[in-house]
Structure 1
Amino acid sequence: MSRQPVVPLAPNVWRIPLIRDFVNGFMFRDDDGQVTLVDMGVKKSGPKVIAALETIGAAPSDVTRLLLTHAHPDHAGGAAHVARVTGRDFGLHEDDAGYAAAGQGPPRDHSLRLGRLMERLSPSKFEAVAVGETFTDGQVVPVAGGLQVVHTPGHTPGHAAYLHLPTGVLITGDSIFNVRQLRWPVKAFCTDFRLNEQTAQRLVELDYTTAAFTHGTELRVNPREHIRRFLTRQGVI
């Protein structure tokens, strides 16, 4: 379990352990020093995201982009704090943009009794953030040589993975967790768990060298094969 403030994944790419290894954010740095932050953790994690900048010799003024994989409070909870400190708006897939701007997570899976119960008893809320740009599937965002948006809906309507083209680091988002072992996210927290199962297959169609999970530690050796085997065991492929 990492206690480092940042974990190097590739040259100029880092994971930020926000709640140990269980909840992660990420940093990318361009050759000219510009920094992009991806996912800000829960509400109390905002200052930890900012503190991570110092560990790589950067400052809030170096941050030029803020991104989210999706609009859930364990990823967007610290977003408003980071936005205030850096003076930047957020970018995310267009299907989750309205939720981030409203500070309201997408609906839970109504096909599940627990999903309906969780939505009524534990609404998914966080401090709203300004959305400055929205993305579509396949779009390449000009981040450190190119960050490809991979739309994988189901966990939320606009859930997206991000593939860093120069290094082959794939930020998977919440389609699959790697907490002790590969596993699904909590079904009741998804908008459509069956769709999540289907779109997770995209993670074996991509070419990458490291699978970096928003929940859990990264896979550095044959990550695509590990994910393929997991999906096979689950009867998805």
Structure 2
Amino acid sequence: MAPPPAVAVAPGVFRIPTVGSWAVNSFALVDDDGSVTLVDAGLDRAPARIVAGLAALGKRPADVQRIVLTHAHLDHAGGAQEMAARTGAPVAVHAEDAGFAEAGTSPPNDRSYAIGRIFARLQNGRFPPVPVGEKLVDGQLLDVAGGLRVVATPGHSPGHISLLHEPTRTLITGDAIFNVLGMRYPPRFFCTDFRMTRRTAHVLGELEYDRVGFTHGPDIVDGAREAVRRFLARTVKPHTPE
């Protein structure tokens, strides 16, 4: 059975599966005026699925006013160039990942692990480069559907962010946490600094939210914060300042 083109996570917040039912997801946030903010753009073949997801919401590419990337990896930014061209929307990404998005190359892998050094030699991490119209910073409140908070969670990439939609109390984790066969961290060989990924994820346990959307994995809409905090309690070392 084909996956649904779009899944409601919260009022005005929708997950758009771009690979399988939930293997790789983008998100659409619909504002009161009908405009759309797209979060992540999948692989380079994802735009057709994203456009189909928008259509299921009664939206067209022209309704997309902003594209926000949680980070500059090819499974999140690969479709950004085409979606920016189709929509005319500017692309926003954290300042630390902006140069990678514009160059069309993923940040370096964590080479402190042997598997990271091996993976770095095997993959090129390239995707179509995309101009960056806005460089995001931690704590920034975007004027998106009543307020979308930028939450810096670096480590998976230098400028990795999660996003908190404050009106619906919905967290989008990006790749700070996966929900694939249960919650877990991203594979260490995909991270720039895996230890930092584990360390900064504690921030997600301190926020207030009721639902969680994952770029990799299905949503949690009941007891989401408690589930995330249980996961972090099992795995995250206490945070210490750098």
Length-normalised TM-score, structure 1: 0.97
The aligned runs of 1:123-138 (5 Å cut-off) are 123-138=124-139
Superposition pairs of residues 22-61 of structure 1, within 5 angstroms: 22-61=23-62
Q: In structure 1, what is the equivalent of residue 222 of structure 2?
A: 221
Residue 19 of structure 1 aligns with which residue? 19
Contact 2:158 / 2:192 at 8 angstroms: preserved in 1?
yes
Aligned to 1:95: 96
Unaligned runs of 5+ in 2: none
Q: Against the structure 1 CA distance between its residues 2 and 112, is the aligned structure 2 distance closer, same or farther, given a 3 Å change threshold?
A: farther
For residues 237 and 177 of structure 2, the distance between their equivalents in structure 1, rounded to whole angstroms, comes to: 13
* CA distances 1:217-237 after superposition (whole Å, capped 9, x unpaired): 111122121111112222535
1:7 aligns with 2:22: no
1:155 is matched with 156
The answer for the alignment partner of 1:70 in structure 2 is 71
Task: Note the residue ranges of structure 1 that are not aligned, 5 or more in a row.
Answer: none
Give the count of matched residue pairs: 237
In the alignment, the residues of structure 2 paired with residue 213 and residue 194 of structure 1 have an alpha-carbon distance, to the nearest angstrom, of 20
Output the CA distance in 1 between the equivalents of 2:237 and 2:18. Answer: 31
Instruction: State whether residues 2 and 17 of structure 1, in contact with CA within 8 Å, keep that contact through their aligned partners in structure 2.
Output: no
TM-score by length of 2: 0.95
Q: CA deviation at 1:2?
A: 7.9
Determine if contact 2:147/2:165 at 8 Å carries over to the other structure.
yes
**Cα distance in 1 between the residues matched to 2:141 and 2:236:** 31
The alignment partner of 1:100 has SS state of helix
Question: Could you tell me how far 1:107 is from its partner in structure 2?
Answer: 0.5
Structure 2 contact 31–146 (Cα < 8 Å) conserved: yes
Take 1:141 and 1:199, find their aligned partners in 2: how far apart are those partners?
21
AA partner of residue 44 (structure 2): K
Letter in 2 for 1:137: D
Query: 1:10 offset after TM fit, Å?
Result: 1.1
Change (3 A) 1:194 1:55: same
Are the equivalent residues in 1 in contact too, given 2:109–2:192 (CA < 8 A)? yes
Separation in 2, partners of 1:160, 1:150: 5
Three-state SS of the structure 1 residue aligned to 2:8 is strand
4+ residue runs over 3 A deviation? none
Cα distance, 1:60–1:235 mapped onto 2, change above 3 Å: closer
Q: 8 Å contact 2:156–2:190 — kept in the other structure?
A: yes
**What is the deviation of 1:89?**
2.3
Amino acid at match of 1:151: A
1:109 and 1:23 map into 2 onto residues whose CA distance is 22
Q: What is the root-mean-square deviation in Å for CA atoms of aligned residues?
A: 1.3
Aligned to 1:204: 205
